[in-house]
Amino acid sequence: MFHERRLITAIVTVLAAACAASSPVQATPPSSLPGVAMSDVDTLVLQPGSEGVDTYVYSLQPTANFGTVAWLHATGLPYAEAFVRFDLSSILPGSTIVSAEIELWGEYRDGTLTFAPVASTWDEAVVTWNTKPGSTVPEVTHPIDTCSSGCSKTFEIADVVRYVVDHPQSECGTKITGNTPSIGWMLGSSDNPTPSRRPKLTVLYVAGGVPVAPAGWGGVKSTYR
């Protein structure tokens, strides 16, 4: 009986090993992208240099323009507001925006930053505090921790990018505002001499409004601009 039990145990072990070898492990989509068929997802990465469009406006210098500065200011109201525009024309209206992360290098203080679609056109070489455009909804607000010596932080702004993509006729970029009075942030601009300190936007999207299906997922197709 003892030998029979050993034989049965050995057979079960062999069969279990064979089953495990023949059954592929099912990968699980990233928790941040539930139900997304990653094989349908494109990635657009934008981090322009001097050709980029960004600036800030400053209430204490209401007629000054800062279109070519290396640093943007997003000081707590009512002092300074930053404006950044990325070229999203390659993403067609109706596309599904899975996620959109803006990466900013800067010197931060405790508080929050708010991101919102800009409501009208502006020219980085001309715009001032007196002529600055307004913004519209949706707004996205993120808390930030102190980083006084400079560091890179990433903020999810999918709602803002979704609005911009679906309103190409009014593609006017994103406004960045600090919400703590008298506390400011210095953010690297596209004119910053250090490439890694320039604003970077990474968008994951399903082109043309293709339904997001709960199917298997594979590699992410990437397009770099």
* String of DSSP letters for 116-171: EEB-S---TTT--GGG---B-S--EEEEE--EEEEEEEEEE-HHHHHHHHH-GGG-
- Cα diameter, the chain: 96
Residue with tokens 């067609």: 92
Q: Residue 19: enclosing H or E segment and its boundaries?
A: helix 2-22
Which residues does residue 1 pair with via DSSP β-bridges, in sequence order? Answer: none
Number of H helices, E strands in the chain: 2, 12
Task: Using CA atoms of 164, 224, 125, 180 in order, give the dihedral in degrees to the nearest 10.
Answer: 60
Please provide the average confidence, as pLDDT, over all residues in the chain: 77
- Per-residue pLDDT of 132-179, as tens digits, reads 999 999 999 998 877 777 889 999 999 999 999 988 765 689 999 988
| Pick from 193, 157, 195: nearest CA to 177 | 157
What ranges do the domains of the chain cover? 29-224
pLDDT band (50, 70, 90) for residue 55: very high
CA pair distance 5, 99, nearest whole angstrom: 55
pLDDT band at 10 (very low <50, low <70, confident <90, very high): very low
pTM of the model: 0.74
211 phi/psi in degrees, rounded to 5: -55, 140
The correct answer on CATH 1.20.1740 for the domain covering 29-224 is no
- 156 and 99 Cβ atoms separated by less than 8 Å: yes
CA distance 107 to 199: 14
Give the model's pLDDT for residue 209: 56
Residue range 202-220, pLDDT digits in tens: 999 998 854 444 333 333 3
